[in-house]
Amino acid sequence: MAKKFACGDVVDGCAWSTTAKDENELFEQISEHAKNVHNMTDIPDEVIQKVKSKIQEV
């Protein structure tokens, strides 16, 4: 089952979303996006928990 994440569920107004084959790959894409677009070089634990709670299976 693939995983899907929409950034707008955590960051208001962000239209980016992504899908990946598993959670590890998904988090790689999310950290890349967070770094490039949201200037988050380290993602705080709190944000990771939030992201995890919003991941959907597709």
Residue 7 within binding range of Zn ion, rule CB under 5 A? yes
- Measured CA to CA, the distance from residue 51 to residue 10 in angstroms comes to 7
Task: Name the nearest CA neighbour of 41 among 33, 52, 53.
Answer: 33
User: Based on CB atoms, which residue is closest to Zn ion, 1 or 46?
Assistant: 46
The residue within the footprint of Zn ion, chosen from 4, 6, 9, 16 (CB under 5 A), is 16
Select the residue interacting with Zn ion from 4, 6, 9, 14 (CB under 5 A): 14
Minimum distance from CB of 41 to Zn ion (Å)? 14
Please check whether residue 20 is in contact with residue 29, taking contact to mean a CB–CB distance below 8 angstroms.
yes
